[in-house]
Amino acid sequence: MPTRKTMNFSALSSYVISIILVLLLSVTSGNVREHSSEPGAPEKYARPATTEIQEKVNRLLADMTLEEKVGQMTQITLDVLGKGDNVSSSHEPFELDPVMMELAFQKYHVGSVMNTTNNRARTPEFFNKLIAGLQDYAIEHSRLDIPIIFGIDMIHGASYVDGATLFPQQIGMAATWNPGLVRRAAEITAYETRAAGLPWTFSPVLDLGVDPRWPRHWETFGEDPYLASVMGHEMVKGYEGEDNDIGNPYHIATSLKHLLGYSHTLSGRDRTPAWIPESQLREYHVPPVRAGINAGALNVMLNSGEINGIPFHSNRELITGLLKEELGFEGFALTDWRDITYLHTRHRIAESYKDAIRIAINAGVDMSMVPYDFEFARYLVELVNEGEVPMERIDDAVRRILTVKVKMNLFDKPYTLLEDYPDFASEAFIGASRNTAMESITLLKNENNLLPLETGITALIGGPAANTMRPLNGGWSYSWQGDLTDEFTADKLTIYKAFAEKLGAENVTLYEGVRFNHEGSWDEEIVDDLDQFRQKAEQSDLIVLAVGENSYCEGVGDLQDLYLSDNQQELIRIAAETGKPVLMVLVQGRPRLISKVEPLVPAIINTYLPSNYGAEALVSLVFGDANFSGRLPYTYPRYPNDLIPYYHKHTEHIMSNGVPTGTPFNPQYEFGFGLSYSGYEYVSMTTDGDSYGADGTIEVTVVVRNTSDRDGKETVMLFSSQLYASITPPVKRLRAFEKVEIAAGSTEQVRFSIPVTDLAFVGHDNRLRLEKGGFIFRAGGLEAPVTVTESVVTD
């Protein structure tokens, strides 16, 4: 791995330096922290009772000045505190600027810091020193000894920590259909994040991946609310622990993002307007957020865009009314990057920055990700003194923030150190990442059983994702855009290197044909000599084309054309013209359209963004050392004018005398699709009754047989369809799923318990309605009808 630069703390007072040196020498003698008696053992920690927490917070609030309270509501980015030419970058090696430290913590009483410096990953030792220095200074200069809370985007592992174990991105985790793997990934992320001294991640993303154009599609758990709810719940529990003990030094606090409807924009571009009827908002977008809150999350990050003409950061009805009152959220609401400022400069509903602050705080915002200056704090103090923001609103926000800090045990243990985390980047953690990628990668096509491959063949590895780790990881990997990934992953196997290791370097040729221009924009490509590519292809037994997308993040990844790039499609055509078998490996954050070239290739694999061990997992799968079990967590569209989810309405597919009257719903691959080396037969599906009242539970039993001679894992998905309703019902909805391992030739029973109330929907009056009538359960081509005998309407 490349050597990372370490931090110079010479700018700090000798007191802080001495504290840091003492910590690094592990001779604390109890003055700051207590070592566990055994490496890796949980530290002694007594979780405070709820009454103790409330009493401590109330005492602090009673003693705080207005300026101190407003400081707790202020979050700045790390580079503001570093020596540099401006507030958005710092000199290397990084040094804390004593002038800015004094301004931040002594004058403005800043309560939160975020991010890394200069938009790049750092070693855990760097972060250890940083957090210790920040906390010691902040507490020393806080009249009430209040620590800061430090947050960072640890999105698929501790993704800003050099050497940490990265996992497939969320869209790939969803493709495993294995909640246990998601929880384990989050547990490891929490462990390694704490090893770096960091206690809070801006994760998970609980937006729905309903629009494949959206550049943050890969950050989601896919298009389905139930799948996102299950996976989101597991991720929160993995981060925070089963009992949400975020003061435990092996757990971290989470941030559910982004409340609400952020992904469902009209244009498909990031941070653009969404028009979502309230009934749809509640039916599809609220459930994952509710699941995250019920799992115990104590922070929510807000939608940077607008819904129905109202910028979210100004929407009191949704922030205070829905989130805090209706859903009972007890944590604090955080803005996204500069989003209060944008009420003035982008959304244009506030005539000044000061007025934007008034609007946002009164709407229910508790903490502002400012992130570059202290004007937020200054203006908010003025607004309170002028009577424009009630003190009750300030106290409510600060109470929420302080409560989280106390629950995180930051007052007693403001930071953690790498030396107490011996399993950091361990082989066990790496194995967990590799296994997650293995269960994620999805086989979409396998004509004539091209796969599994035999060894003893020659292969040409081409395409822009063939020999770079950047597209395997995607954004939020070592930097915001993921553009530094290759610098940090020199010891990892690319797709080309993984094939060369399996087949022998002498049997594998690398010639990309089309390459990503890593010096240009994310979608810029370089076309090589395609005649030479053709020649090399003709000389090989197999052509593997690793195609898709380079890394990007947020609005940088907005696009005009969802089709796979013209250059890459031409490369596929040339490969197919050779008559040699072609394996298309898709490395992509969203489903790029392949309908023009799909008929040309016999085998297609979707790897999503499988991260650092994805290439190893891919090769294990294609050579049959492991079995495919990944399933699509979204509908893979065939055409750019057919971007609708599986839970569309019946009118999307109108038939007349058995003939479609328009273009039918015809995706490239349906939601939940995925092939395997094993074959499965759905033998039977039964329910424990025919009719059910509103308080009943429907017991569904599905029998599945592995008809092949190979063990495999099958995800049994249970859907329901309502025959008639007071508003048009969707074609079907996912109600339950379970991934089961079935031995060759064996049969497994899968039982689901479905409360009848789960069949309710949000009606035209935005109330939850369970309506009597007929329903059909479906699984694996089988059907089981049931009847609900009574209707119930709830607020």
Among 79, 97, 207, 336, the active-site one is: 336
Omega of the bond leading into 645 within 30 degrees of 0 (cis): no
Q: Which residue has the tokens 């490239």?
A: 668
Report in angstroms the alpha-carbon separations of 569 from 335, 548, 587, 593, 595: 41, 10, 14, 10, 10
Whether the Cβ atoms of residue 574 and residue 530 lie closer than 8 Å to each other: yes
Nearest to 376 by CA among 352, 405, 401: 352
Coil, helix or strand for 537? helix
Residues 365 and 369: their CA atoms lie apart, in Å, by: 10
Give residues with Cβ within 8 angstroms of 740, minimum separation 6.
704, 713, 714, 715, 716, 748, 750
* Side-chain half-sphere CA neighbours of 480 within 13 A: 11
Please enumerate in sequence order all residues whose Cβ is within 8 A of that of 98, keeping only pairs 6 or more positions apart, or say none: 11, 12, 13
Determine whether 336 is an active site residue.
yes
All residues at 6 or more sequence positions from 58 whose CB lies less than 8 Å from its CB, including other chains:
none
Number of H helices, E strands in the chain: 22, 31
What per-residue string of b and e applies to 320-354 under the rule 16 or more CB within 10 Å gives b?
bebbbeebebebbbbbbbebbbbbbeebebbeebb
Q: Which residues contact 71 (CB under 8 A, 6 or more apart)?
A: 108, 109, 110, 111, 377
Residue listed under structure tokens 């370089």: 526
Burial of 147 per CB tally in 10 Å (0-12, 13-18, 19+): buried
Q: In whole angstroms, what is the distance from residue 563 CA to residue 761 CA? A: 35
Q: How many CB atoms are located within 10 Å of the residue 538 CB? A: 14
The two tokens of residue 579 are 């008559």
Phi–psi pair at 326, nearest 5 degrees: -70, -45
In angstroms, the first-to-last Cα distance of the chain is 56
Q: What is the residue type of 54?
A: Q
718: left (phi over 0), alpha (psi -120 to 50) or beta: beta
Alpha helices in 334-373 (DSSP H): 339-345, 353-363
Q: How far apart are CA 195 and CA 161, in angstroms?
A: 10
- Three-state secondary structure call for residue 506: helix
- From residue 480, give the alpha-carbon distance in Å to each of 77, 91, 118, 485, 555: 14, 19, 10, 10, 12
For residue 254, give both structure tokens.
């989470």
Q: How far, in Å, CA of 246 to CA of 285, rounded?
A: 26
Residue 292, beta-bridge partner list: none
Q: Which residue has the tokens 């004593």?
A: 98
Cis peptide before 98 (omega within 30 of 0): no
Residue 774 amino acid letter: G
Biggest CA pair distance of the chain: 85
Within 13 Å of residue 723, how many CA atoms lie on the same side as its CB? 11
Tokens of 666: 């015809």
Nearest to 389 by CA among 369, 370, 364, 367: 364
Which residues participate in catalysis according to the annotation? 336
